[in-house]
Amino acid sequence: MGSFETVVIGGGLVGTAAAYGLAGRGVTTALIDEGDIAHRASRGNFCLVWVQGKGDGSPSYAAWARESAELFPDFGRELQDSTGVDIGYSKLGGVKLCFSDTEMAEREVLLERIKAYPGAADFEMMDRNALDDLVPGLGPDIVGASYCIDDGHCSAPYLLRALHAGFLARGGRYLNGAGARQIRPRGKGFTIDVGERAIETEQVILAAGLDNARLAPMVGLHVPIKPNRGQILVTERLQPILNVPTNFIRQTQEGSIMIGDSHEDVGFDDGTTAGVTGDIARYGVRVFPFLAGARIVRVWGCLRTWPPDGFPIYDQSTSHAGAFVLNCHSGVSLAANHATRLVEWIRNDDGAPNLEAFSTDRFDIGVAA
């Protein structure tokens, strides 16, 4: 039996970033993680800290994504300095490659529309000549790209490791190996059944990725997230060649090239298929012909936590005060916000961001009893 001010359920990027921020505020926090049997998007993603193109139809998301990219350098530095874990963060901008003039024109229209939102990111369209100076080795089919200086990338596994280390260093308690089976609201707070244990807490934060759909109704919330599979290919280590990431291809700090990622509606199947990995490999070689000679050393499939409209979900229960739900499909990109601004919202600070736009009210599905 343990008793905490806050229990965060889910030790992926979203839950750990929030727990790290809460522990940094002196809140007695426990982080519960189910372990390897769970689906875990944080351990199989593409590692972009990405802004461009995000928030079409949601000015709040466009500004939120940009704000996280702005906070990321300081957040990453502090995390790295305090834990000694190099998260491999680099912010030299990113490019979305285009294969035709029509695609270039459509991309520009989209990004202009988003840029008109307050606080949204700026961008630049680059023709092939300008692009060649930034991205060497491109194949003949690429006509240009959109470039956003706010974009970057990191090593998500090291980011997760650093957040865990930082959380522990800030006095947080990590309980792994058993999942939260049941959340039982009581007078002022909650009892959480975890394996054979019962944990008491004043506040509970659901950050269990896809399992939030099951847990949220226990605190009067509904979270209509679905799995969406992405497959990723990784090459052997190559000489450094790519300084900036593209939306589908990036070079890690160790030298591997990551190529991905697909978007597949296949339920909870996180396997790989020859058809999709073949398409990804062909795409990679079309973009960078030099990849034809590179050996693929790893391939995996991983499930995204996909909200119906693609925008984050942050909400608190009106029927069970102190219960929160957090979901998003950009948990790498938004980590800086989750560790700082989101925590201000959870703690109801003066000057906390208004996150109403991300509540579950936007889904026309009613509220669980």
Ligand X SMILES: Cc1cc2nc3c(=O)[nH]c(=O)nc-3n(C[C@H](O)[C@H](O)[C@H](O)COP(=O)(O)OP(=O)(O)OC[C@H]3O[C@@H](n4cnc5c(N)ncnc54)[C@H](O)[C@@H]3O)c2cc1C
Residue 127 or 276 with smaller CB distance to ligand X: 276
Residue 78: CB minimum distance to ligand X, A: 19
Give the distance from CA 237 to its chain's centroid. Answer: 25
CA dist., res. 245 & res. 343, Å (int)? 29
Considering the rule CB under 6 A, would residue 328 count as an interface residue with ligand X?
A: yes
Helix or strand (DSSP H, E) at 314? strand 313-316
Considering the rule CB under 6 A, would residue 33 count as an interface residue with ligand X?
A: yes
CA dist., res. 35 & res. 158, Å (int)? 17
Token output for 43: 């351990």
Considering the rule CB under 6 A, would residue 9 count as an interface residue with ligand X?
A: yes
Residue 101: CB minimum distance to ligand X, A: 27
- Binding test (CB under 6 A) with ligand X, winner from 207, 213, 257, 336: 207
Listed residue (315, 305, 328, 318) closest to 355, CA to CA: 315
Considering the rule CB under 6 A, would residue 47 count as an interface residue with ligand X?
A: yes
For residue 124, what are the contacts with CB-CB under 8 A and spacing of at least 6? 146, 147, 148, 149
Which segment (27-35, 112-120, 122-130, 136-144) binds ligand X by CB under 6 A? 27-35
Listed residue (287, 256, 349) closest to 95, CA to CA: 287
Considering the rule CB under 6 A, would residue 48 count as an interface residue with ligand X?
A: yes
- Between 237 and 266, how does the x/- string for binding to ligand X read (CB under 6 A)? ------------------------x-----
Listed residue (357, 360, 359, 326) closest to 343, CA to CA: 326
Residue 38: CB minimum distance to ligand X, A: 3
Which segment (37-45, 119-127, 236-244, 277-285) binds ligand X by CB under 6 A? 37-45
CA dist., res. 130 & res. 146, Å (int)? 11
- Between 132 and 171, how does the x/- string for binding to ligand X read (CB under 6 A)? ----------------------------------------
- Binding test (CB under 6 A) with ligand X, winner from 45, 58, 235, 277: 45
Within a 10 A sphere around the Cβ of 165, how many other Cβ atoms?
16
